Amino acid sequence: MSKIRIAVLCSGGGTNLQAILEAQAAGKIPHGEVVLVIADSKEAYSLERAKTFGVETAVFDKREFSRAEREREMLACLKAHRAELVVLAGFLTVLSPSFVEAYKNRILNIHPALLPSFGGEGMYGLHVHEAVLSRGVKVTGATVHIVTEECDNGPILAQRAVRVRKDDTPRSLQQRVMREAEWKIYYRAIEAYCKTLQK
């Protein structure tokens, strides 16, 4: 049976992309294969990570396309590469309902908190960890979910908890959530979902 063709959308450094590609190289995603990495910035370091692993890349820079144009070009690119699953890895643009509909139940995202807490509009990157610390919660973590039209509100596929320390800063918490949760659960959730899509 052929592997599910995966496209990863990134905006920045691509640490989750790196974890996914390393897992794939180690044979831990036997039912899927990353065939394309799309970035919305020419400076995204994720493009370099993709090239290191021999994965094709495409860039649709936010500064050069309107949102509608960018999504149209991205969808054409996904179609050209026969992508069957879209994985968001630090992709900082909220996708339009029409884009989500085009890949209904075939877009996954990882969020750096235990949804439904600390999700929704404006909750990304360090903002999430700042909010966690300001509320004084004792446990945070990461969540893998299916993307729907409503931001951070799709069905949850996987979660892992991370304890908040008294001396945490937003940056130290972010790093630990990535190390202890995000990099461990995302590739596993992707593999499990690819297996489901093959049935």
Active-site entry in 111, 127, 129, 145: 111
- Return the structure tokens found at 77: 């690119």
Alpha-carbon span 40 to 89, nearest angstrom? 12
Short-list 121, 164, 119, 114, CA closest to 143: 114
Is residue 111 part of the annotated active site? The answer reads yes
Short-list 82, 94, 83, 89, CA closest to 47: 89
Residue 101 one-letter amino acid: E
- Spatial neighbors of 21 by CB under 8 A, at least 6 apart, are 34, 49, 50, 53, 55
DSSP class of residue 11? S
- Kindly list the catalytic residues: 111
